């Protein structure tokens, strides 16, 4: 064995027939500002030269090196390469570079790849212009909870990079080939038990090679005929021992590239250039090699910033060897984005691939996302995506997911072929092949499995060595067959063979990374508010366009949707990236909000100008973007001019209005307005009151309160000790417990700080917050408002509690000055309701989860994701907890809790340390969440009315109308937008209660709909719908998503 190891070392040291040092690199140091933008380093001089052993770049620095290289005339042109290595002066360096030959980006350079094989066609008159852009990364923070990066010191404290090797080499192909085969044989043999005959036969064959070579001389190592003969004998032994083949490993070259994580997006752009150029070079060198890549955003960056590499990629895609997979714009989080956001990820992602490459992938490739919502199968299938792949469920901390290959069934009954792979970034050594096959759970149902190889996270991808190993692994003894393959081919064979596979119903919950529902709360709030804003502006621009002829700003809308989608990447919106990522994210969201507000205002004012607002007083238009008639409290603020004003309707009927005068003289009018039309508007008028208007007043707070709906008692700490529903005669809070209780815990996860919630947090509760102040803001005829302030450890919480006289909803508008470290803040509502199941909103629907811990699966779900609401209901009564920007819930027993804030310190040391504002609402209701209309209440909280003051004028639109009327108690219009064809509008609707039901759509005369076709989510024709008098009837299955294309 030692003799074999020695000959392997000798061959490794003699892979080159000749080599020449490359000295005297002309250098220029710089700081990378933005893609294509660099600032010169102060030490730059025109004669700066770097030689072997010299400093190349300090941490955070980019250096440009270039040199003219002459190739010896007696060297064979197809065996020439460059070896380029840097080190940290004796330490490992994580520097990354891009090497270009003759001005063409050719290959990435990093700690996993140093040899660049020079394509013969680039050698012009034996001269070669070489250019290297090398970056020595900035250090990332140390994870103090577990010392995560102690194993990777160069990441936290990158050493200065020095030029270790820079050589022109003449490659000895025969030595390399024999070396790779010996390594594969040796690593295969040691996997056998020593009692296995194959172990001895493999070693005997290798020993024959050793005996023949002995201590090889230079002449021996140049003897091509001898080396080829030895390799042939070894191959024959492998063939003779190959025997029975249990199955087939399908080798898929791939590189997982995080859009952002421990590096900013600007660095991802360079990582993509390095990875894609390396892949193209390898595809030119190895005929059997195939490569697959996801995320249109990466290709869009490449197109913009590296057009030469992009053209190489387009050529390889056209040849059919660079495979396009994964239709979503980025690989997003699948818990936090709305249903419409997931549709746009597919719509815009697939459109990019179709426009650029003429391809639409059928595989959604989401290997690293932190759990998968149960509506995703339907979303994928309706976007012409038939297969789903992930790896993440293998990260579960409690239960091993039972299947590798299965049908995933969503909440509507849609099934999709799904594949759970081992891990990302596999190697291709015999041990990797063997373990990949051994771990496969569905061998009996289907005899093929992928091996997805190539460095990832930060890109890099496949190395030359990985391919060389695979080329020699096709029929190793004791192993499955190994074949290069495409992702689509792998899935389409499964589709055609129709194996009997198991099924999994519901969400694919990741038993890990539960903190990602809460970390970086501002980013999550930005996401929710951006989704709501762009929904609104698209609806009003659609109506302004189709009814009134206003040009639709599609280009601006789509560009900003791409920014929203970018920030939904699975390491951005979950809160798991470094600080610079969020600095850029905040700037991008500001752009999204500024442009969105402008586009929305332009549309609603365009509509307002066409409304007949003639009446008594100042007209105020209330626009309702939701698809049901709603009652709301509107608020108008100003000065003394609002004193003694009232609001009336067209007929002069008064709305109940209260007036509040603050200490600083601001006057607020609150009015309860009923019957605001769905997908439309209502005009009311502000006028002098005929009678003296009652001014809301303050009073001393004594801990007791009563409204038309409730009797309320507060504890000395400011918690709710009693909440009694007068109409239902129901105590809402469980006897002896307190609601709206702020609970602070130590949160010390052992593995991933920003990602995980400490499973022991419940045992680590800190002392109760200290009540600083409790007062009455006002008691009025429309609302009552109380204010509480608490000191919570080092932080300050200020909360306004609003009781509505015409609604059972109670709002808790909360401000937190958060100054904590490794803490978790929750709010708790122990309710007088018993149910073994709680219901949570997910994209385009809802899902039930257990409130008990009978099994390990239920125990693992101690924190789960819900979107705008979660609910606990028994037969005739229930309680919903709504929110305007939170996602982390836990409901166990009778206790509903919402996670408000975390204080992780890695990888962003300043995560969440800021002032936060958010609202959550308690909504008790009779009946369950369906009868109580919880879905609507959650949407109303997140989609407030648009209120427009305007002048009195005539117009062709009436003072009140619905552009579209939806006759259904459970079908919801989720979005309205201009069709991608720019002809007509798209309506996206879904059934929200899990019922089979019919919905009638009635279009107003202003819409003048002449034709309506049903489409899929990509807006491709599915079915022509019959219209009767401008109306459409459509039956919806439970949780079904439907898309309609309406033209005039």
Tens digit of each residue's pLDDT (9 = 90 or more) over 10-31: 999 999 999 999 999 999 999 9
């549709």: which residue's tokens?
343
- The DSSP bridge partners found for residue 142 are none
Token code pair at residue 552:
């639709």
Q: Say whether 353 sits in a helix, a strand or coil.
A: helix
CATH code of 142's domain? 2.60.120.260
Distance CA 438, CA 427 (A): 15
Distance CA 514, CA 120 (A): 52
Distance CA 36, CA 695 (A): 61
On whether both 785 and 907 belong to a single domain, the answer is: yes
Distance CA 941, CA 883 (A): 7
Tens digit of each residue's pLDDT (9 = 90 or more) over 848-905: 999 999 999 999 999 999 999 999 999 999 999 999 999 999 999 999 999 999 999 9
CB 175 within 8 A of CB 221: yes
Contacts (Cβ under 8 Å, ≥6 apart) of 936: 626, 628, 630
In a domain, 4, yes or no: no
CATH code of 991's domain? 2.60.40.2220
Distance CA 1024, CA 535 (A): 26
Q: What is the pLDDT of residue 699?
A: 85
Q: What is the pLDDT of residue 152?
A: 53
Distance CA 625, CA 945 (A): 8
CB 27 within 8 A of CB 54: no
CB 696 within 8 A of CB 777: no
Distance CA 364, CA 345 (A): 11
CATH code of 574's domain? 1.20.1270.50
CB 723 within 8 A of CB 739: yes
Q: Which helix (H) or strand (E) holds 723?
A: strand 720-725
DSSP 908: -
Packed helices 173-189 and 430-438: angle between N→C axes, nearest 10 degrees: 40
């309860």: which residue's tokens?
672
On whether both 967 and 927 belong to a single domain, the answer is: no
Average pLDDT over residues 947-952: 97
On whether both 936 and 997 belong to a single domain, the answer is: no
Token code pair at residue 1042:
């439907």
- The DSSP bridge partners found for residue 618 are 686
Token code pair at residue 89:
């002066």
Phi, psi of 901 (to 5 degrees): -150, 150
In a domain, 252, yes or no: yes
Q: What is the 3-state secondary structure (H, E, C) of 361-383?
A: CCEEECCCCCCECCCHHHHHHCC
Distance CA 15, CA 365 (A): 38
Bridge-based pairing of strands 869-873 and 864-865 is: unpaired
Q: What is the pLDDT of residue 138?
A: 94
Query: 461's torsion region: left (phi>0), alpha (psi -120 to 50) or beta?
Result: left
In a domain, 63, yes or no: yes
CB 776 within 8 A of CB 792: no
On whether both 167 and 178 belong to a single domain, the answer is: no
Q: Which domain holds residue 394?
A: 247-326+361-503
What DSSP letter does each residue of 624-639 carry, written as one string? Answer: E-SSS-EEEEEEEEES
Q: What is the 3-state secondary structure (H, E, C) of 386-404?
A: CEEEECHHHHCCCCCCCCC
Token code pair at residue 252:
């898929």
Where a domain ends, among 695, 715, 746?
A: 695
pLDDT band for position 289 (50/70/90)?
very high
Where a domain ends, among 610, 628, 661?
A: 610
- Give, in degrees to the nearest 5, the angle at Cα 566 between 577 and 417: 95
CB neighbours of residue 691 within 10 Å: 8
CB 1037 within 8 A of CB 1009: no
Bridge-based pairing of strands 657-661 and 960-962 is: unpaired
Token code pair at residue 1031:
């109306």
Q: What is the pLDDT of residue 147?
A: 63
In a domain, 287, yes or no: yes
Where a domain ends, among 117, 142, 171?
A: 171
Give percent of the chain with pLDDT exceeding 90. 93
């005369």: which residue's tokens?
1005
In a domain, 949, yes or no: no
Tens digit of each residue's pLDDT (9 = 90 or more) over 601-618: 999 999 999 999 999 999
On whether both 686 and 542 belong to a single domain, the answer is: no
Q: What is the pLDDT of residue 151?
A: 43
On whether both 1028 and 976 belong to a single domain, the answer is: yes
CB 129 within 8 A of CB 99: no
The pTM is what? 0.97
Using the predicted structure, report yes or no on whether residue 150 has a pLDDT greater than 60.
Answer: no
Helices (H), 833-933: 856-860
On whether both 137 and 161 belong to a single domain, the answer is: yes
Tens digit of each residue's pLDDT (9 = 90 or more) over 690-699: 887 778 788 8
In a domain, 6, yes or no: no
CB 336 within 8 A of CB 527: yes
Distance CA 68, CA 66 (A): 7
Q: What is the pLDDT of residue 1045?
A: 97
Average pLDDT over residues 193-208: 95
Our CA dihedral for 167, 173, 174, 176, rounded to 10 degrees, sits at 70
Token code pair at residue 928:
């369950």
Average pLDDT over residues 938-947: 98
Tally of residues, the chain: 1048
CB neighbours of residue 248 within 10 Å: 18
Residue of 928, 800, 823 whose CA lies nearest to 876:
928
In a domain, 947, yes or no: no
- Number of domains composing the chain: 7
Distance CA 661, CA 693 (A): 12
On whether both 316 and 193 belong to a single domain, the answer is: no
On whether both 665 and 793 belong to a single domain, the answer is: no
CATH code of 469's domain? 3.20.110.10
On whether both 711 and 655 belong to a single domain, the answer is: no
pLDDT band for position 153 (50/70/90)?
low
Distance CA 950, CA 610 (A): 11
DSSP 542: H
Q: How far is CA 182 from CA 79, 178, 429, 481, 651, in A?
A: 21, 6, 12, 19, 93
CB 1036 within 8 A of CB 999: yes
Q: Which helix (H) or strand (E) holds 13?
A: helix 2-13
Q: Say whether 18 sits in a helix, a strand or coil.
A: strand
Distance CA 558, CA 546 (A): 19
Token code pair at residue 900:
């408000």
Distance CA 845, CA 990 (A): 8
Helix, strand and coil in the chain, % to nearest 5: 25, 35, 40
On whether both 321 and 455 belong to a single domain, the answer is: yes
Average pLDDT over residues 171-179: 97
Average pLDDT over residues 151-156: 66
Q: How far is CA 644 from CA 77, 337, 351, 509, 665, in A?
A: 92, 44, 56, 55, 14
Using the predicted structure, report yes or no on whether residue 544 has a pLDDT greater than 70.
Answer: yes
On whether both 480 and 370 belong to a single domain, the answer is: yes
What DSSP letter does each residue of 31-97 carry, written as one string? Answer: EEEETTEEEE-TT--TT-EE-TTSEEE-TT-EEEEEEEEEPPTTS-GGGEEEEEEEESSSS----EE
Q: What is the pLDDT of residue 148?
A: 57
Distance CA 508, CA 415 (A): 13
Distance CA 890, CA 838 (A): 10
- Give, in degrees to the nearest 5, the angle at Cα 974 between 970 and 978: 140
Tens digit of each residue's pLDDT (9 = 90 or more) over 271-282: 999 999 999 999
CB 52 within 8 A of CB 166: yes
What DSSP letter does each residue of 108-163 carry, written as one string? Answer: EEBTTB-EEEPPGGG-BTTEEEEEEEEE-PPPPPP-TTTTGGGG-HHHHSPPPEEE
pLDDT band for position 149 (50/70/90)?
low
In a domain, 251, yes or no: yes
Q: What is the pLDDT of residue 768?
A: 87
Contacts (Cβ under 8 Å, ≥6 apart) of 1041: 339, 375, 378, 379, 382, 412, 844, 988, 989, 990, 1017
Q: How far is CA 150 from CA 140, 146, 577, 764, in A?
A: 12, 9, 19, 27
Contacts (Cβ under 8 Å, ≥6 apart) of 963: 543, 547, 679, 680, 1003, 1004, 1006, 1007
Q: Which helix (H) or strand (E) holds 645?
A: strand 645-648
Distance CA 983, CA 979 (A): 6
Token code pair at residue 425:
């970034």
């Amino acid at each position: 064995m030692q003799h074999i190891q020695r000959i392997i070392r000798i061959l490794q040291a003699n892979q080159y027939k000749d080599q020449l040092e490359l000295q005297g690199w002309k250098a220029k140091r710089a700081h990378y500002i933005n893609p294509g933008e660099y600032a010169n380093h102060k030490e730059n001089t025109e004669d700066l030269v770097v030689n072997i052993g010299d400093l190349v770049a300090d941490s955070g620095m980019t250096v440009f090196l270039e040199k003219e290289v002459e190739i010896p005339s007696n060297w064979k042109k197809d065996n020439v390469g460059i070896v380029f290595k840097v080190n940290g002066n004796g330490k490992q360096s994580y520097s990354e570079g891009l090497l270009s030959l003759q001005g063409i980006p050719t290959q990435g350079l990093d700690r996993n790849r140093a040899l660049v094989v020079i394509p013969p066609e680039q050698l012009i008159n034996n001269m070669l212009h070489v250019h290297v852009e090398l970056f020595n990364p900035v250090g990332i923070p140390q994870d103090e909870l577990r010392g995560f990066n102690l194993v990777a010191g160069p990441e936290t404290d990158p050493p200065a990079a020095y030029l270790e090797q820079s050589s022109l080499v003449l490659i000895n192909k025969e030595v390399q080939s024999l070396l790779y085969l010996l390594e594969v044989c040796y690593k295969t043999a040691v996997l056998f038990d020593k009692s296995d005959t194959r172990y001895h036969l493999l070693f005997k064959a290798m020993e024959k090679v050793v005996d023949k070579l002995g201590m090889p001389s230079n002449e021996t190592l140049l003897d091509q005929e001898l080396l080829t003969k030895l390799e042939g004998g070894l191959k024959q032994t492998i063939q003779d021992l190959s025997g029975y083949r249990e199955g087939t490993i399908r080798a898929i070259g791939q590189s997982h590239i995080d859009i952002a994580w421990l590096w900013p997006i600007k660095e991802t752009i360079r990582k993509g250039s390095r990875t894609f150029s390396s892949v193209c070079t390898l595809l030119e060198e190895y005929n059997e090699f195939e490569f697959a890549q996801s995320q249109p955003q990466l290709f869009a960056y490449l197109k913009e910033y590296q057009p030469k590499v992009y053209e190489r990629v387009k050529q390889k895609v056209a040849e059919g060897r660079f495979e396009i997979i994964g239709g979503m714009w980025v690989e997003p989080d699948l818990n936090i984005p709305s249903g419409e956001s997931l549709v746009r990820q597919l719509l815009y992602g697939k459109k990019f691939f179709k426009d650029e490459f003429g391809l639409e992938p059928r595989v959604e490739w989401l290997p690293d996302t932190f759990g998968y919502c149960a509506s995703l199968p339907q979303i994928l299938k309706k976007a012409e995506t038939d297969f789903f792949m992930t790896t993440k469920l293998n990260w579960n901390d409690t239960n091993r997911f039972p299947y590798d290959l299965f049908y995933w069934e969503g909440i509507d009954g849609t099934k999709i072929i799904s594949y759970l792979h081992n891990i990302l970034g596999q190697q291709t050594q015999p041990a990797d092949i063997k373990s990949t096959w051994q771990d496969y759970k569905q061998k009996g149902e289907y005899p093929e499995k992928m091996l997805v190889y190539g460095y990832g996270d930060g890109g890099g991808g496949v190395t030359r060595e990985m391919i060389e190993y695979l080329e020699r692994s096709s029929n190793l003894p004791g192993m499955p067959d190994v074949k290069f393959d495409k992702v689509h081919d792998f899935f389409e064979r499964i589709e055609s063979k129709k194996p009997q596979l198991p099924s999994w119903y519901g969400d694919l919950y990741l038993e890990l990374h539960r903190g990602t529902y809460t970390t970086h709360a501002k980013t999550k709030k930005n996401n929710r508010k951006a989704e709501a804003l762009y929904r609104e502006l698209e609806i009003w621009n659609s109506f302004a366009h189709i009814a009134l002829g206003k040009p639709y700003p599609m280009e601006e809308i789509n560009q900003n949707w791409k920014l929203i989608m970018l920030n939904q990447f699975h390491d951005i919106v979950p809160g798991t990236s470094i600080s610079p990522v969020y600095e850029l994210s905040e700037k991008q969201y500001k752009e999204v909000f500024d442009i969105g507000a402008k586009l929305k205002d332009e549309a609603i004012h365009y509509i307002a100008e066409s409304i007949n607002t003639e009446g008594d007083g100042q007209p105020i238009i209330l626009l309702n973007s939701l698809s049901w008639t709603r009652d709301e409290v509107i608020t108008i603020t100003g000065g003394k001019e609002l004193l003694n004003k009232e609001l009336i309707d067209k007929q002069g009927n008064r709305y109940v209005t209260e007036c509040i005068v603050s200490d600083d003289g601001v006057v607020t009018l609150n009015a309860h307005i009923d019957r605001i039309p769905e997908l439309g508007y209502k005009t009311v008028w502000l006028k002098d009151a005929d009678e003296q208007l009652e001014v809301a007043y303050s009073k001393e707070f004594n801990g007791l309160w009563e409204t038309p709906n409730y009797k309320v008692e507060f504890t000395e700490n400011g918690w709710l000790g009693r909440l009694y529903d007068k109409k239902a005669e129901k105590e809402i809070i469980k006897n002896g417990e307190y609601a709206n209780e702020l609970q602070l815990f130590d949160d010390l996860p052992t593995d991933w700080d920003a990602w995980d919630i400490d499973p022991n947090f419940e045992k680590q509760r800190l002392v109760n917050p200290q009540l600083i102040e409790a007062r009455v803001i006002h008691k009025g005829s429309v609302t009552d408002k109380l204010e509480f302030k608490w000191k919570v450890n080092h932080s300050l919480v200020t909360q306004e509690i609003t009781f509505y006289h015409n609604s059972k909803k109670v709002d808790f508008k909360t401000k937190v000055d958060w100054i904590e470290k490794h803490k978790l803040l929750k709010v708790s509502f122990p309710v007088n309701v018993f149910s073994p199941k709680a219901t949570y909103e997910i994209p385009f629907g809802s899902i039930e989860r257990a409130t008990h811990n009978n099994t390990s699966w239920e125990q693992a779900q101690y924190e789960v994701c819900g979107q705008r609401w979660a609910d606990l209901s028994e037969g005739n009564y229930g309680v919903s907890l709504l929110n305007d920007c939170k996602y982390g819930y836990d409901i166990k027993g009778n206790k509903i809790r919402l996670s408000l804030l975390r204080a992780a310190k890695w990888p962003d040391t300043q995560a969440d340390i800021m002032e936060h504002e958010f609202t959550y609402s308690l909504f008790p209701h009779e009946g369950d969440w369906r009868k109580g209309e919880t879905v609507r209440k959650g949407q109303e909280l997140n989609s407030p009315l648009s209120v427009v003051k305007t002048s009195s004028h005539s117009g062709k639109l009436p003072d009140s109308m619905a552009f579209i009327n939806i006759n259904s108690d459970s079908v919801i219009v989720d979005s309205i937008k201009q069709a991608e064809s720019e002809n007509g509008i798209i309506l996206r609707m879904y059934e929200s209660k899990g019922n089979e039901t019919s919905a009638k759509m009635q279009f107003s005369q202003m819409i003048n709909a002449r034709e309506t076709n049903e489409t899929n989510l990509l807006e491709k024709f599915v079915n022509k719908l019959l219209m009767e008098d401008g109306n459409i009837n459509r039956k919806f299955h439970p949780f079904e998503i439907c898309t309609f294309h309406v033209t005039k």
